[in-house]
Amino acid sequence: MAQYGKAEYWEERYTRDAEPFDWYQRWSGIKDLLAQYVFPTHQILHLGCGNSRLSEEMYDEGFINSINIDISQVVIKAMQEKYRDKQTMRFLHMDGRNMEFDDATFDAVIDKGTLDAILCGENSTAHANKMISEVYRVLSPTGVYVAITYGQPPHRYPYLDKSEYNWEITVHQVQKPTIASTAALATDDRDQPNVHYLYVCKKRGGREAPKQAE
């Protein structure tokens, strides 16, 4: 299996192949669902953006305020250059497990395959929990985290449905694209081979981010 959980894998991949690539879904496949929870007035964080066209396609439809982060410095430099004319669509080199944002910075966090990538790596449970904790911290009191994944509820709820997260979870299914422009990070979704899952985790408001153990 490719080392999706390692920064070195992504640095090498984006150095070798700079063409835009979207994991799982394009904007057209998920916009009807996302538009129920994410609005053009929102400050949006794209978590593990890679060289996806998602933020560009959303920008073109009025979602102009976004920050895109990725663990790969190579891809961030390329995206900064590509989109230098879109000043409200920023790209920053950052680790989603240790984000450099203040608490309650974003109205929405969109994660298209990043949680899945972390779960393919070493110490996956600890790293996934750390990233989700960070997502919770940087979300506003009424913010929403949307995780787009191949993982079925029994395999994702243990990470998302925790007492320290004061959010309401809604799960949607969306058909996988028929064209070969997207890909899966792993192959353990054979029970539901034709769908991806959107986990919409919406904060109920008025509760601080959970404290991290030292």
pLDDT one-digit tens code per residue, 19-52: 666 778 989 999 999 999 999 999 999 999 999 9
Identify the helix (H) or strand (E) that includes residue 127: helix 124-138
pLDDT of residue 207: 45
What pLDDT score does 143 carry? Answer: 96
pLDDT at 79: 93
Residues 50-97 pLDDT 10s: 999 999 999 999 999 999 999 999 999 999 999 999 999 999 999 999
Distance (Å, whole) CA 29 – CA 176: 8
d(CA 174, CA 192): 11
Please report the pLDDT score of residue 210 as a whole number. Answer: 45
* Strand pairing class (44-47; 106-112): parallel
Terminal-to-terminal C-alpha distance of the chain: 33
* pLDDT bucket at 7, cuts 50 / 70 / 90: low
Describe the crossing of helices 153-160 and 124-138 by its angle, rounded to 10 degrees. Answer: 60
pLDDT at 144 over 70: yes
Give per-residue pLDDT as tens, 191-204: 456 899 999 999 98
Query: pTM for the full model?
Result: 0.86
Give pLDDT, residue 77. Answer: 94
- Write out pLDDT tens, residues 101-133: 999 999 999 999 999 999 988 888 999 999 999
Q: What single string gives the DSSP state of each residue in 129-168? A: HHHHHHHHHHEEEEEEEEEEES--HHHHHHHH--TTS-EE
- Report which of 64, 106, 69, 70 is spatially closest to residue 88, judged by C-alpha positions: 64
Give the DSSP letter string of 44-109.
EEEET-TT-SHHHHHHTTT---EEEEES-HHHHHHHHHHTTT-TTEEEEE--TTS--S-TT-EEEE
Higher pLDDT, 205 or 38: 38
Taking phi over 0 as left and psi of -120 to 50 as alpha, with beta for the rest, 34 belongs to: alpha
Residue 187, CA atoms < 13 Å, CB-side half-sphere:
2
Which secondary-structure segment (H or E) carries 169?
Answer: strand 167-175
pLDDT confidence bin for 211, thresholds 50/70/90: very low
Describe the crossing of helices 7-16 and 73-82 by its angle, rounded to 10 degrees: 40
- pLDDT of amino acid 3: 66
d(CA 148, CA 196): 7
Q: Quick one: pLDDT at residue 120?
A: 85
- Write down the pLDDT at residue 48: 93
